[in-house]
A and B are shown apart, each in its own frame.
Chain A
Amino acid sequence: MSDAALPLKTNDLATRRDDRRVRGESVAVQILLIGLSLAFLLLFLLLPLITVFVEAGARGWEAYKAAIFEPDAVAAIRLTLLVAAVAVPFNIVVGIAAAWAIAKFEFRGKNLLISLIDLPFSVSPVISGLVFVLLFGAQGYFGAWLKAHDVQIIFALPGLILATVFVTFPFVARELIPHMQSLGSADEEAALTLGASPWRTFFSITLPNVKWSLFYGVLLCNARAMGEFGAVAVVSGKIRGLTNTMPLHVEILYNEYMGAAAFAVASLLAGLALVTLALKTLLEWRFGDAIAASRRH
């Protein structure tokens, strides 16, 4: 250790190696730690992912196609897309509104509001579905009224959407808030002073400024909306072809010992996860400055 007390010039390659001796671990320790990390990831992350695709293809291409184009599976895919198509835009609008109020203004109770927006993250998915059953279920607070007016929320599309909106509520807001806070409001003030209307200021200044972190939030929001299981399991009733989303369809097939079909549908969701990860990584590399703030919590 003591022989490493050389003048440290970090640009010089030779001294860099000495530098590593001063503040790094020995090669053996490095290899051990890297090996340990890789083994852990292999066991807990990589193996499950590989399993999905291997099991999906276990019965061959024809069986795979049959499992995916079977009418109940197609209905499940459609329903999942429909739920996401309503829940995600809703959360985009609310997320932008929340970020505008929180990032551009100083008001009392702001920290409380931020905590409340984050609240769904610390609520079990099952509870996120349960709350809507308690409100709108047959024996829920509004159950009798809904029945009298022939409106069905639980075991129907509105329930699935409500539960999905609940679990994905924080995603867009929590990506936008830190970014908008770091940008400040000088650009908007300039635009307004120059005579731009409030909406024009928003659409041609604010929105372009935050587009990448917005996209990042939408990406995560969408992945969760399409993949949500616990919350929708509680409100769906799992009626095949009607209220069965893709993750629920996977569960039914699996429980009926149709493993290959379950993994075939699961492989579509795993594909969505991989695309999400790839886009997310791309965004972090290219627009890291804009998104970096959000990775800190």
Chain B
Amino acid sequence: MAATAPFRWREPSVLPGFGLALGLTLTALSLVVLIPLAALFLKAASAGPADIWAIMTSPRTLAALRLSFLGALFAASINAIFGLILAWVLVRYEFPGRRLIDAAVDLPFALPTAVAGIALAAIYAPNGWVGSLLAPFDIRIAYTPLGVMVALIFIGLPFVVRTVQPVLEELQDDVEEAAALLGASRLRTIFTVILPPVLPALLTGFVLAFARAVGEYGSVIFIAGNVPMVSEIAPLLIVIKLEQFDYAGAAVVATLMLLISFALILSVNLIQARARRRFGDV
């Protein structure tokens, strides 16, 4: 069809309002999102190569980026494991309170991050409900990098559950039954029959949780302790640079963060597309 039809920007339609709707969307998108983001890149670029390099490679910047990205990686991995188990339990098992728990999974989406932040700090502080239990073993969570992980796990949990759950719901029982009746052990059935089609959704959930965790600010800063080089996350470093009116420095760190996350998200999307070709649509 594409070969015979002449090139056109849009297919003809009897419905009205295309120009108005698209115009409004593009105007709002440009004013609110695209131009401001362009200003960020422009500001970062205006710092000049030498300054950009100096900001990028300063030990404090590197430490903050390392904590944000490795912390997000760790938290997203924990979320992938427990999110998968949780989705499985919610889809497959019947137990009292299942629907309530299903609804509660979305709490991190709904609870403002500052509220989550002060609550987590209170719980995991040395005199808090959980912190005081760990204190005798000399384990400290709040005000250490571990505290950062706790907050990031909280914030990323729903992403994995909500992407994996619909795929588990749609799995056909007969394939599993066939595997079992043909003599496969339950573990073998899980790893060779159930998990492969779930894997792309799990990866999507992992990436969503990771992307959210990298940029997370509100729930982290209360529990992190914010010690430079130790428990200072990249978004906080941006805020600190802004408070010192170091606009260029803030813009460079922000641009670096955005570029690394976009590159990671893009590469996982490419892996996804490849997996989809192999295993069919998710």
When C-beta atoms are compared, the residue in chain B nearest to A248 turns out to be: B114
Contact B111–A273 (Cβ < 8 Å): yes
Contact B217 A125 (CB under 8 A): yes
Are the CB atoms of A108 and B36 closer together than 8 Å?
Answer: no
Interface residues of A in 240-286 (CB under 8 A from B): 246-248, 250-251, 254, 259, 262-263, 266, 269-270, 272-274, 276-278, 280-281
Interface: B52 (CB within 8 A)? no
Chain B residues, CB < 8 A from A259: 118, 122
Q: Which residues from chain A contact B261 at a C-beta distance below 8 Å?
A: 122
> Which of A44, A104, A124 is B217 in contact with, Cβ under 8 Å?
A124
A239 at the interface (CB under 8 A from B): no
Give A251 to B45 CA distance when docked, in angstroms: 33
B166 touches A107 (CB 8 A): no
Quick one: which of A125, A132, A189, A281 contacts B15, CB cutoff 8 A? A189
CA–CA, A66 to B181, complex, Å? 67
A149, CB-defined interface residue at 8 Å:
no
Is A14 in contact with chain B by the CB < 8 A criterion? no
B130, A24: Cβ atoms closer than 8 Å: no
Indicate whether A185 reaches chain B with its CB closer than 8 angstroms. yes
Asked if B120 is an interface residue, CB under 8 A from chain A, the answer is: yes
A276 to B262, CA, bound (A): 30
A-B contact count (CB 8 A): 301
The verdict on A45 contacting B108 (CB below 8 Å), with A126-B235, A139-B247 known, is yes
> Does B51 reach chain A (CB closer than 8 Å)?
no
Residues of B near A266 (CB, < 8 A) are 112, 114-115, 118-119
Across-interface contacts of B34 in A (CB, < 8 A):
116
Complex formed: what's the CA distance from A124 to B105 in Å? 22
Please tell me if A81 contacts chain B, counting CB pairs below 8 Å. Answer: no
Cα-based distance from A130 to B166 in the complex (angstroms)? 36
Q: Which residues of A contact B (CB under 8 A)?
A: 1-2, 4-5, 8, 19, 22-25, 30, 33-34, 36-38, 40-41, 43-49, 51-52, 55, 90, 93-94, 97-98, 100-101, 104-108, 113, 116-117, 119-127, 130-135, 137, 139-141, 162, 165-166, 169, 185, 188-189, 192, 198, 202, 220, 223, 226-230, 233-234, 246-248, 250-251, 254, 259, 262-263, 266, 269-270, 272-274, 276-278, 280-281, 292, 295-297
Q: How far is it, in angstroms, between the C-alpha of A22 and the C-alpha of B157 when the chains are bound? A: 31
Instruction: Show 25 residue pairs from A and B whose CB-CB distance is below 8 angstroms, ordered by the A residue.
Output: A22-B180, A23-B173, A41-B101, A41-B104, A44-B154, A98-B29, A105-B18, A116-B33, A122-B265, A123-B37, A123-B215, A123-B258, A124-B216, A124-B238, A126-B238, A134-B247, A135-B35, A229-B113, A229-B217, A234-B239, A250-B118, A266-B114, A269-B114, A273-B112, A278-B103
Q: Which 3 A-B pairs have the closest CB atoms?
A: A124-B215, A227-B112, A107-B10
Of A1, A120, A132, the residue contacting B180 (CB under 8 A) is A1
B32 touches A133 (CB 8 A): no
Residues of B within 8 A of A37 (CB): 82, 85-86, 89-90, 101
How far, in whole Å, are A229 and B177 apart by their CA atoms in the complex? Answer: 49
Return chain A residues, CB-CB under 8 Å to B10.
Answer: 105-108
B202 at the interface (CB under 8 A from A): no
Using an 8 Å CB-CB cutoff, how does the interface string of B52-80 with A read, 1 for contact, 0 for none? 00000000000000000000000000000
- Besides A97-B21, A105-B15, 16 more A-B contacts (Cβ < 8 Å) are A5-B181, A48-B123, A55-B122, A101-B22, A121-B212, A124-B254, A125-B218, A131-B36, A131-B37, A131-B39, A134-B39, A134-B251, A162-B32, A185-B13, A228-B112, A248-B114
What A residues does B21 contact at CB under 8 A? 97-98, 100-101
Query: Which chain B residues (199-215) contact chain A, with CB distance < 8 Å?
Result: 204, 211-212, 214-215
